Amino acid sequence: MRTRWRLAAVQMAVTFGDKLANLNRVRQSIREAAEHGAQLVIFPECSLTGYAFENIAAALEVAEPIPGPSTVELSLLCREHELYVIYGLLERDGDRFYNSCVLLGPEGVVAAYRKIHLPYIGADRFATPGDRPFAVHELPGLRLGMHICYDGSFPESARVMALLGADLIVLPTNWPHTSMCTAQCVPICRAMENHVYFVAVNRVGEEGGFRFIGHSRIVSPTGDTLALADHERETILYAEIEPKLARQKHRVLIPGKHEINRIADRRPEFYSVITQKGLPQHDATAHR
């Protein structure tokens, strides 16, 4: 059982619609990360396929099933280097497609996640909303949860995975130039408020009129940044994590004077409005 994990976050450019070129880049990055001792290598959203599709037919043309051609090939690489990989792709299921990410290991496909929250941009305009609940997956000594890009803007997403026991929450993303505040704030906030490790892996380059800003980040359970790409260039971030630290939710800042537990101190009986659809109805006379 591993007590420490070495992570690699691959901030990369993606060639739109060219799965072979992107697969070659992913393979190259996995080998490089393996040489640096990485045990889990994480890639951006839609790193296999690209994202800025203008119609459903074009997106379906590059989408593939899970398991599928890329999962078979990359699973062999995972077995060769004895590591795990997370990457994003458009997943085809009949005449529908999902914006998905997949977790691979030496044994093959470990898990896949379908993006639940879909903004009106790029391929998400045509994708089917994710139909599977958030989940936590057991690796040797590590409990891992996955979500994608816009999901990170909904605190409930990470909170559910934290309550399910996640030590590490991964966010493959495609943040464009309008998302700098998100890139700077979301990873730190989600890590701190759930006391988990958090990895946001963004892409760089341009596609379909969008410029992607990089700024990938690996964050500790206390909200401290362990590794940051504060630029728009290709790079690989590395950090070592200790899952046991994420499981110690009770923080003693000053013994007997300042102690907090952001999980145990919750008051769920006051949160019911969160699960209601739409905006709450307010009494128009309440503020007169």
Instruction: Give me the pLDDT at residue 278, please.
Output: 78
Cβ of 279: how many Cβ atoms within 10 Å? 7
Cβ of 26: how many Cβ atoms within 10 Å? 24
Q: What is the mean pLDDT of residues 21-44?
A: 98
Q: Residues 46, 78, 101, 149: which is the catalytic one?
A: 149
Q: What is the pLDDT of residues 80-96, one digit of tens each?
A: 999 999 999 999 999 99
Whether the pLDDT of residue 279 is over 80: the answer is: no
Decide if 244 is catalytic.
Answer: no
Q: What is the mean pLDDT of residues 195-204?
A: 98
Instruction: Give me the pLDDT at residue 87, please.
Output: 98
Q: Under a CB-based contact definition with an 8 Å cutoff, are residues 99 and 45 in contact?
A: yes
Residue length of the chain: 288
How far apart, in whole angstroms, are the C-alpha atoms of residue 37 and residue 166? 23
Decide if 101 is catalytic.
Answer: no
How far apart, in whole angstroms, are the C-alpha atoms of residue 76 and residue 104? 10
Assign 1 a pLDDT band (cuts: 50, 70, 90): confident
**DSSP 8-class letter at 278:** S
Q: Under a CB-based contact definition with an 8 Å cutoff, are residues 110 and 137 in contact?
A: yes
Instruction: Give me the pLDDT at residue 275, please.
Output: 87
Q: What is the pLDDT of residues 35-68, one digit of tens each?
A: 999 999 999 999 999 999 999 999 999 999 999 9
Strands of the chain (E only): list them.
Answer: 5-11, 40-42, 84-93, 96-105, 108-114, 136-139, 142-146, 168-172, 197-201, 204-207, 210-213, 217-219, 225-228, 235-241, 251-254, 258-260
Query: In this prediction, what percent of the chain has a pLDDT beyond 90?
Result: 94
Q: What is the pLDDT of residues 244-270, one digit of tens each?
A: 999 999 999 999 999 999 999 999 999
Whether the pLDDT of residue 283 is over 70: the answer is: no
Mean residue pLDDT of the chain comes to 95
Name residue 192's beta-bridge partners.
none
Q: What is the mean pLDDT of residues 117-134?
A: 97
Contacts (Cβ under 8 Å, ≥6 apart) of 14:
22, 25, 44, 46, 47, 50, 51, 203, 205, 207
Instruction: Give me the pLDDT at residue 277, please.
Output: 84
Whether the pLDDT of residue 6 is over 90: the answer is: yes
Instruction: Give me the pLDDT at residue 286, please.
Output: 47
List Cα–Cα distances, 276 to 40, 159, 263, in angstroms.
Answer: 37, 17, 22
How far apart, in whole angstroms, are the C-alpha atoms of residue 69 and residue 75? 10
Assign 287 a pLDDT band (cuts: 50, 70, 90): very low
Instruction: For the chain, give the longest Cα–Cα distance.
Output: 69
Q: Residues 115, 207, 232, 242: which is the catalytic one?
A: 115
Strands of 12-95 (E only): list them.
Answer: 40-42, 84-93
Decide if 189 is catalytic.
Answer: no
How far apart, in whole angstroms, are the C-alpha atoms of residue 115 and residue 137? 16
Whether the pLDDT of residue 173 is over 90: the answer is: yes
The CA-based angle 142-152-56, given to 5 degrees, is 110
- What is the reported pTM? 0.95
Contacts (Cβ under 8 Å, ≥6 apart) of 241:
4, 5, 7, 167, 168, 197, 220, 226
